[in-house]
Amino acid sequence: MAQFLVFIAFSIFTVNASYGLSIDEDSGSVASTNPTLAEEQAFIKLFGSKDPDEAATCGQLIESRGFEYEVHYVTTEDGYILQNFRIINRYTRESGKKLKPILLLHAFATSCSAWLVNSPAELGFLLANLGYDVWLINVRGTSYSTNHTHLDPEDPQFWDYSFYEIGIYDVTATVEYIKKETGFGEFFSYCRTVSEKLSMTNFVAHNLLITTIIVIGFSQGTIQLLIQMSAIPGYDKNYDLVILITPIGFLGDKSGLVGAIPIPLLRQLLSLRNGPFPPMSAITFGSFAVLCERPILTPICVNVLGGIFGFNTQQLNVSRTFVYTSQIDRSSNKNGLHILQFIESNHLRYFDYGEDKNYELYGSAEPPEFPFYKINPNKLVFISGLNDQVTTPINVQNLRNSLCDRVDTDHVITDPYFNHGDIVIAKDAFPLFNDIVVRSIEEKMLHDEL
């Protein structure tokens, strides 16, 4: 049954359609920041939108909760222009305090909205209310980040990337931008200017809290961080804490949803061309959201979404199913292919281009694995679930075994039914998940103050 649902969902995702919709004049600000969502909103409005969060942009979601925001455009080393968001809590900003930056990394087929749409338990707003400087990345290829210094999204070369490039270029460029914008992460350069006045020991003890940032990754967001920290030696010096939610370093256990994926069929379809996955998502998911509003079809939508992302239906607010559907975003076919390779090899490796090109690029017939043993586990926090159908307990244990030491904190969610996608949609997200994140951060902050 699960394999059938995944196949049906994939078929829906790959439908191309264009309805020539006109966008309302008053949606100009939406169109300028996200033309895809502007088109999706226009389509949904034809059928009478049932919820203001439906196909809402991150800016709209932030403002609807009483916050302000900034849009920051970050250009990567390979030319992609990312549209990232910063949540502004005007009350903490007016206090004049230097706020600790926290960067949130979304999962595959989602965007910044993943951290903002689970009303009233959104992690992004919780952290902003607690006085943190919250940043939200939108990686290349999402509906927010389709600009490039010289490539057009119509060019197949634009979509020639996977989670490797996202981790190496997108995450790194965003962290460097946050460092420059906030002054955090500038410890070494600043230390040189005060070394004659303060001993190094005293400087570190009194200033560590304002020198590094916190990063939180969910699902594919954890893959990107593991790649970055293993492939760029010493880069973890920029991080005070790295929270990996459903940490993915292995996907070989096929006892969960992974076992339902028709890998040969998907590999064949995704190999046809470089392009977005899914294509034309505005109308495709606008239609899906409209259908999911219909009570008679809601159970089908719940089962399809659960079959793809892994939800505990007892934790799902069924009345918002169409909202969650409307927020699904896109990636690239190559990224999907790399994930399939990841499943088959059961370890994060560079992209497998075939023996000839592998020799040319890597000097070996097989692509090399990312060296997890080089990652500093003392900065890592793992949050995983007993019933996660993607990041299964076996997969998480394999990741633990690949590290050089135990992680700083290793929390397993106590709810025996808590599943992979529940992280961003569960009704009990606060007690089961958000509270763990907050306590991990506060314990780290308190420890560093002592």
More confident call, 86 vs 187: 86
Can 402 be counted among the known catalytic residues?
Answer: no
* Token pair in block for residue 242: 């790295």
Q: Is 388 tagged catalytic?
A: yes
pLDDT of residue 281: 62
- For residue 274, the model assigns a pLDDT of 94
pLDDT score of 27 more than 60: no
**Mean per-residue pLDDT, 339-365:** 97
Q: What's the whole-model pTM score? A: 0.90
What is the chain's mean pLDDT, rounded? 88
CB 111, CB 138: distance < 8 Å: yes
> Do residues 217 and 224 make contact, with C-beta atoms less than 8 angstroms apart?
yes
What is the span of the domain harbouring residue 390? 2-449
Give me the catalytic one of 388, 408, 415, 422: 388
449 falls in which pLDDT band (50, 70, 90)? Answer: low
> Please, how many CA atoms are within 13 Å of residue 388, restricted to the half-sphere of its CB?
26
Tokens of residue 129, six digits: 């209310």
pLDDT at 81: 98
pLDDT at residue 190 in the model: 41
- What is residue 185's predicted lDDT score, i.e. its pLDDT? 72
Please tell me which residue, 106 or 302, carries the higher pLDDT value.
106
Nearest Cα residue to 134 out of 84, 74, 171: 84
- Model confidence at 8, pLDDT cuts 50, 70, 90, reads very low
Instruction: Choose between 195 and 99: higher pLDDT.
Output: 99
- pLDDT at residue 111 tops 90: yes
- The region of weakest confidence among 15-24, 36-45, 252-261, 418-427 is 15-24
Residues 122-167 pLDDT 10s: 999 999 999 999 999 999 999 999 999 999 999 999 999 999 999 9
Beta strands in 76-222 (DSSP E): 80-88, 101-105, 133-136, 147-148, 213-218
- How many angstroms separate the CA atoms of 446 and 450, rounded? 6
* pLDDT score, position 94: 81
Contacts of 82 (CB under 8 A, 6+ apart): 73, 74, 75, 76, 137, 138, 139, 140, 144, 145, 170, 173, 174
pLDDT at residue 155, rounded to an integer: 97
Comparing 2 with 411, the larger pLDDT belongs to 411
State whether residue 413 is helix, strand or coil: strand
User: How many residues are given for the chain?
Assistant: 450
Output 111 or 1, whichever has higher pLDDT. 111
The secondary structure of residue 444, as a DSSP letter, is H
Active-site position among 143, 145, 219, 230: 219
Please confirm, yes or no, whether 219 is among the known catalytic residues. yes
Say if residue 19's pLDDT is above 50: no
Residue, of 21 and 160, whose pLDDT is higher: 160
Query: According to the model, what pLDDT value does residue 211 have?
Result: 67
Q: What is the pLDDT of residue 206?
A: 42
Report the C-alpha gap between 327 and 426 in whole angstroms. Answer: 16
pLDDT for 303 equals 86
**Confidence at residue 186, expressed as pLDDT on a 0 to 100 scale:** 59
Phi and psi based region of residue 15 (left: phi greater than 0; alpha: psi -120 to 50; beta: remaining): beta
The number of folded domains in the chain is 1
Of 294-298, 361-365, 407-411, the range with the lowest mean pLDDT is 294-298
**What are the C-alpha distances in Å from 79 to residues 19, 22, 105, 135, 163?**
31, 31, 20, 21, 16
Report which secondary-structure segment, H or E, holds 227.
helix 220-231
- Tokens read off for 404: 């050089």
CB 430 within 8 A of CB 415: no
> So what's the pLDDT on residue 23?
41
pLDDT of residue 196: 40
The residue annotated as part of the active site, out of 402, 420, 422, 440, is 420
Burial 292-326 (b: 16+ CB within 10 A, else e): bbeeebbeebbbbbbbbbbbbeebbeeebbbbbbb
> Residue 19 belongs to a domain with what CATH number?
3.40.50.1820
**Strand (E) positions, 76-168?**
80-88, 101-105, 133-136, 147-148
Res. 38 pLDDT band, cuts 50 70 90: very high
- Residue 244: CB atoms within 10 A of its CB come to 27
Give yes or no for residue 359 having a pLDDT over 80: yes
Query: pLDDT of 202-235, one tens digit each?
Result: 444 444 444 689 999 999 999 999 999 999 999 9
